[in-house]
Each structure stands twice: as C-alpha cells, then as structure tokens.
C-alpha cells in the first residue's frame, strides 16, 4: 500500500492524466482542444485540462508529454496483452499504469514522457 500511495502522491493522480502519439501530433481525428476522458480500443489514451490534442499510444510507442500539459487531465489504458505505460520524469519512471485501467484523473506536471510496453 505504501508504494501505491507514494506513486499516487507523486503523480497527484487525483488531479491529472497522460498519454501520447508517436509523432506528437495527436491521434487521427482528435480535436485540437480535446479535454475529458478518452477511450481508444487497444491503446493508451490521455488528455489534458489545458486542451490540445490527445495522446494515443499503441504497443511499443513512446512520446514526450506536451509542454502545455502542466496540470490535470485523464488517462485510460486499454493496451492489449496486459500492456502498461511507463510515465517518466526527466530521468526515472514515476508511475506504471495498471493494465486495463481507467479512465483515471491525474497530474501531468511531473511527467515528461510516456512509453507503452506490451
């Protein structure tokens, strides 16, 4: 429980979320001002309360988190094969998403990049 509580507090999971596409341009069909939870079958999907394109990651993809994603948002992990997304600060893993979990609200502030591992 201590590790989970620490991870939640590090991410301020109650106030933000994350996700990304390989090219940083957002997923096809995403709105340039999309907020709120998103779901993409077979992928990890994230949005920011600050707006901008959502991030969608499929197995093996990674992406930096948009610089404007400094506050709250959502993420939803629907990667296949119990895939997880590792959320990094500048150098270390800050959080690993549980498989098939979300949508969850969290804080993008401490997160610099994402990697989908399946």
pLDDT, one tens digit per residue, over 33-74 is 568 899 999 999 999 999 889 999 999 999 999 999 999 999
Distance separating alpha carbons of residues 93 and 42, to the nearest angstrom = 23
- Residue whose structure tokens are 């999907």: 45
Q: How many domains does the chain have?
A: 1
Distance separating alpha carbons of residues 104 and 58, to the nearest angstrom = 18
> What is the domain extent for residue 50?
2-117
Distance separating alpha carbons of residues 52 and 79, to the nearest angstrom = 22
Answer yes or no: is pLDDT of 9 > 80. Answer: no
Confidence (pTM): 0.72
């Amino acid at each position: 429980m201590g590790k989970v509580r620490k991870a939640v507090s590090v991410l301020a999971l109650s106030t933000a979320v994350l996700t990304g596409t390989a090219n940083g341009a957002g997923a096809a069909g995403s709105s340039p001002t999309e907020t709120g939870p998103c779901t993409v079958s077979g992928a990890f999907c994230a949005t920011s309360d600050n707006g901008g394109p959502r991030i969608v990651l499929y197995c093996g993809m990674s992406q930096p988190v948009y610089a404007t994603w400094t506050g709250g948002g959502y993420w939803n992990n629907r990667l296949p094969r119990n895939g997880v997304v590792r959320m990094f600060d500048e150098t270390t893993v800050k959080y690993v998403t549980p498989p098939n979990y979300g949508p969850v609200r969290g804080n993008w502030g401490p997160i610099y990049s994402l990697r989908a591992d399946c």
